[in-house]
A and B are shown apart, each in its own frame.
Chain A
Amino acid sequence: MLDLLPQFLVNGIITGALLAIPTIGFTAIFAVLRFPNFAVASHATVGAFAGLVANVYWGLPAVPSLAFAFLIAGIVGLVSDEIALKPLRKHGALTTAIASIALTIVLENIIRFFFGNELRGYDLPLVRDTRFGDVRVNPQQLENLALAVVIMVLVFTALKYTRMGKAMRAVADNPGLADLKGIDAALVGRVVAFAGMGLVGIGGMLFGLGTSIDPLTGFRFILPIFAAAVVGGLGSIPGAVLGAMIVGVGEEMSALVLEPAYKSAVGFLAIVLVLTFRPSGLLGERAY
């Protein structure tokens, strides 16, 4: 079993990198809008299906399809936030969180209405696994890993160097002070709702590329997404990446001791451990 260790480690790093993308979206929304937006589940599904339309119906390759998934999930995220969640934020984070679950049910069922419950797959060229010594990797996985890394670099560059990125960090850090400096918090909130859910949508499609998708796709990923966000520190974007790596590697390594069906239970275990020993997460709650 131990000779499989390098293989599990490689799988874990790939899973972690893919998980990091939607987790960044979830945690960024938490950092700026101050509530756990459980509608990430449906937005992952929206992204996965938008990518499916671009890839299977229009015949686009994976990368433009991912861009389309980002765009559609982002637009849905922005519009649904404006209509459904924004008016509720004054009633508190928990009320908004409940409404975000209702929103998830609504969006998931709109997708079910048009696409049905069948499992669907993307139209991708089949390729053989590549071997590096004892480790087998599918080129598609490598491509996904590379894409995930590129997206992360883009996100971090945007946060560090653009005006909007700086404004976002300012609002997350201290909304009152940001307001004093003339930062338009409402605009920042809209950008975060769009970009955050867009990233979640990309995440949904990236996961779907490896398997198949149905309207419940998003719900299957929420436990690892929450776990990654809490482990890294809720609201911390570097924490989201670190947390995703820990949860991803943990999930794959769990194959050494657990049945594969319990992979996603690792996320819950990680949440319990972190909340017991280091409640603010590994990197704390500072956004950046």
Chain B
Amino acid sequence: MLSWLFSVATFAGIYALLALGINVIWGMGGMINLGMAGFFALGAYASALATTSGGLPIPIGLALAAGLAALAGGLLCRLTLRLRGDYLAIVTLGFSELVRLVAANEIWLTNGSDGISGVPGPWRSELTPFRFNVLSFALVAAAVVVIWALTERLRRAPWGRALRAIRDDDTAAAVAGKPIRRFKIQAFALGAAILGLAGAFYGHYTSYIAPDIFRPLITIYIFLALTAGGTGNTTGAIVGAVAVVLVLEGSRFLEGWTSVLGGVQKAALREVFIGVALIAIMQLRPLGLLPEKSPGPFLKRKSR
């Protein structure tokens, strides 16, 4: 039971990383990334391949995952920079389908739809499953804290302020002399790197990845987490991610009580619930449960 709790908490941490990554792109930058699952998969595959076939240590796998995802994100953002956001939505969604297609078909590299098993985890063989869960949770939690601190610092820094100005009115920001394209590409690449990192953590924790794991559904989970928590709010992203994982896991308990429905039907109902919840929150609380507060520098000075 305790081991299961740590396992749930680890997944919550991975979701929190994803929500933090999307928060940089969508919450802080106002750019849409509907291909989140693609960057998540890219990171997971990059790190898994580097540490299995490549024989490299896990930290290098993590770095590769973040780097590759950042590169892909930067290029996609660059491609649609002059166009309206609608195009970025289409391109990113297309990208995630492409990643899934490559993962399912390049069998020599990714083992196709059978997936890659035996992805190494830190000291997995030396530890009991319980201790491995505790260690994984500690590592993921540390990563969440580091990324939280980093993005929160960036949000309060001039970089974050400029990015917010671009999000709210890019013409005004451009008139104020901000290089808006560079800011947008940087923000998208940074967010994508966090998504890739989350993918790498996922692979090393579960030891198994396959194309089917990275379905568009997970993109909805994360947008729900971020919207519920408060778009643009770094802490809200983490709170939202934990809440979504609790709802997902909690619904498994409810499933035990009904025996009329088959497994597929229960899973379908859960996903209907997630989708309806996202639309409802967007309509009723568009700013989320913890709305973004601009870190006003003046207020801060007064309080000192």
Taking beta carbons and an 8 Å cutoff, which residues of A are in contact with B? 30, 35-36, 38, 84, 87-88, 91, 93-95, 97-99, 101-106, 108-110, 112-113, 116-117, 219, 222-223, 226-227, 230, 234, 259, 261-262, 264-265, 267-268, 271-272, 275-276, 279
Contact = CB atoms under 8 A, between A and B. Distances in A.
A265 B103 CA distance: 12
Given A99-B278, A268-B98, A112 B264 contact: yes
Interface in B201-251: 216-217, 219-220, 223-224
Nearest first, the 3 closest Cβ-Cβ pairs linking A and B are: A106-B275, A109-B268, A105-B275
Nearest to A264: B101
B254 to A, nearest CB: 16
Interface stretch (B58-66, B88-96, B131-139, B183-191): B88-96
Given A105-B217, A272-B79, A279-B82, A112 B268 contact: yes
Contacts of A38: 34, 89, 93
A102 B79 CA distance: 26
B264 A117 contact: yes
Interface stretch (B3-11, B48-56, B152-160, B279-287): B279-287
B127 interface: no
Contact of B105 (A105, A226, A262, A271): A262
15 contacts: A93-B84, A93-B86, A97-B89, A101-B216, A102-B223, A103-B275, A106-B271, A109-B267, A112-B264, A113-B265, A117-B264, A262-B101, A268-B97, A271-B90, A275-B80
B172 interface: no
A130 B268 CA distance: 42
Contacts of A88: 279, 282-283
| Dominant SS among interface residues on chain A | helix
A117 B262 CA distance: 12
Interface residues of B, number: 45
Contacts of B95: 268
B292 to A, nearest CB: 14
B279 A103 contact: yes
Given A99-B282, A101-B34, A102-B279, A109 B94 contact: no
A105 B97 contact: no
Contact of B94 (A87, A95, A268): A268
Which of B84, B94, B102, B217 is most buried by chain A, counting CB atoms within 10 A of its CB?
B94
A259 B89 CA distance: 27
Given A93-B86, A109-B271, A98 B94 contact: no
A271 B91 contact: yes
B2 interface: no
A275 B83 contact: yes
B275 A102 contact: yes
A265 B101 contact: yes
Nearest to A84: B279
Contacts of A116: 262, 264
Contacts of B267: 109, 112
Given A93-B84, A110-B268, A264-B97, 17 more contacts: A36-B90, A84-B279, A97-B86, A98-B282, A99-B279, A101-B216, A102-B220, A103-B279, A104-B275, A105-B271, A106-B272, A106-B275, A112-B268, A113-B265, A222-B97, A267-B94, A272-B79
Contact of A36 (B86, B98, B268): B86
B109 interface: no
A94 B223 contact: no
A97 B34 contact: yes
Contacts of A93: 84-86
Contacts of A219: 216
Contacts of B104: 261
Contacts of A103: 275, 279
B269 interface: yes
B40 to A, nearest CB: 15
A275 B85 contact: no
A108 B276 CA distance: 12
A94 B272 contact: no
Contacts of B141: none
A47 to B, nearest CB: 19
B274 interface: yes
A279 B86 CA distance: 12
B32 interface: yes
A58 to B, nearest CB: 24
Contact of B79 (A101, A110, A276): A276
A38 B219 CA distance: 13
A97 B105 CA distance: 29
Contacts of B282: 88, 91, 95, 98-99
